[in-house]
Every structure is written in C-alpha cells, then in structure tokens.
Amino acid sequence: MARILFVVTGADHWTLADGTAHPTGFWAEEIVAPHEAFKAAGHEIVVATPGGVVPTVDRGSLAPEFNNGQENADRMAAAVAGITELEHPLDVAAIDPADYAAVFYPGGHGPMEDLAVNADSGRLLNRALESGMPLGIVCHAPAAVLAATDADGGHSFAGYRLTGFTNAEESRTGLADKAKWLLQDRLVEIGADFQEGEPWAPHVVVDRNLVTGQNPASAGPLADELLKRLG
C-alpha cells in the first residue's frame, strides 16, 4: 500500500477580471474518479490544502448537466460526501513529499485563485518533480506549476510536455472573456510544451514523471497512468 498526496485548492471563488467572485472550488469528478481508483488498488490518500482549510466542492460539478443526468449527479454528490479525507486536510506548508509515493493535484477553477500563486505548493511541486515520483495534475490544477520556480526565478516546468484546460474549453464555459488570464496562455508563456486535445475528450500527456490531464474526463485515465507507475 502506498500513500498518495492530494493537493487540493482551498479557494471557494475565482476572481474575474472585473473583480467579481465566481463561486468555485474543486471539481467533483477530478477527485472522485482518482480517489476511487487509488482506493480500489489499496492505497492510502492524504489531502492537503493551503492553510489546511477544508476544501469546497464546485457546486456546478454536481449539476445534472455535468453528470449525464440527475441520478449520476446524486451519485457524484454522495461520492464527494463519502471522501472523509477532505474533512481533515493537512497544511501544504507542512508537507514533505518524501513521505508519499505520488502526488496528485485535482482541478476546478479554484487553483487559478490560490495554487497559482502559492509558494508552498510551488516548493512541493519542485521537490516532487526532482524526486522522480509520479506527479499527476489535471484540468485547471496545472495553474499550480506557475508558482514552481527555481532560485534564479526560472520556471521549473519549462520544456515539459503537458496539458491542461484549454482556451477552447474555457470559451465554452463562457468564462474566457471574463478571466484575468487563461491557463493555456500562461503555461505557454512560461515555456511549457502545451499539448492540446479535443475539447472535453480524455487527453493525458506523460513527460518523465509528470502526468497531466486536460479536463474532468481525463481524471480517471490520469489516475490509471499513475497507478501503472506505482507498480
């Protein structure tokens, strides 16, 4: 049995360009699918957030239209409620990644608010990347890599092939024109080799120990890829 660290956003909103707060948090499927996969394989999961705050689920991720109907939406809500690790998160600042076999970052718009500028998370990402351990990041959570810099201010993930929520997908959410910045643009700006797949379709990119997924549908396949690396 391995211990897997979930680094989850602590934000319950995303500040848009006009200063309004768009309600958000973590996206349910992006925690539920990997949690189920890792637990089924017999692994232990530990959750950490900035400041150790209890994370908020994005209510939109529990809506019928994002879960193929009300029955699946109810099942998703029950699954989130059953993840007891979310109720007692550790503080990201106190985490030593060497205590874990893998690190996973689920998305939702929340990481655009807090993890994108969180230095503690940035240091954790640097250590995980350098260690060679499996490191999974999905959807909007690649925003966290923006805070991963070296002593000279360079970006640790520059040159890595990766993916994340695309400009095309953000446009379809109706939020692209309201955002301060777009994830795909910013990842390209720091020198990452951004790999764009079809909107909403599962798309996983592997580069060395880094495994990234484009969108919620990629969370399950990403978890499967991490499990292969855990042996």
Residue-wise pLDDT for 173-196, tens only, equals: 999 999 999 999 999 999 999 999
How confident is the model at residue 152, as a pLDDT? 87
Q: Is the separation of the CB atoms in 113 and 22 below 8 Å?
A: no
How confident is the model at residue 179, as a pLDDT? 98
Average pLDDT over residues 146-156: 93
Please, what is the average pLDDT of the chain? 97
What pLDDT, in 10s, does the model give residues 85-128? Answer: 999 999 999 999 999 999 999 999 999 999 999 999 999 999 99
Q: Is the separation of the CB atoms in 9 and 49 below 8 Å?
A: yes
Average pLDDT over residues 191-208: 98
In percent, the amount of the chain with pLDDT more than 90 equals 97
How confident is the model at residue 104, as a pLDDT? 98
Helix extents (H) in 16-93: 28-40, 70-81
Average pLDDT over residues 37-42: 98
In percent, the amount of the chain with pLDDT more than 70 equals 100
**The total number of residues written for the chain in this structure:** 231
How confident is the model at residue 22, as a pLDDT? 98
What pLDDT, in 10s, does the model give residues 48-92? Answer: 999 999 999 999 999 999 999 999 999 999 999 999 999 999 999
How confident is the model at residue 231, as a pLDDT? 78
Question: If pLDDT is split at 50, 70 and 90, which confidence band does 151 have?
Answer: confident
pLDDT for 46 beyond 90: yes
Interacting residues of 12 by C-beta distance below 8 A, sequence separation 6+: 23, 24, 25, 56, 110
Average pLDDT over residues 204-227: 98
Average pLDDT over residues 189-217: 98
Return left, alpha or beta for 20; rule: phi > 0 is left, psi -120 to 50 is alpha, else beta. beta
- The DSSP symbol for 19 reads S
In DSSP terms, which residues pair with 4 in a beta bridge? 45, 102
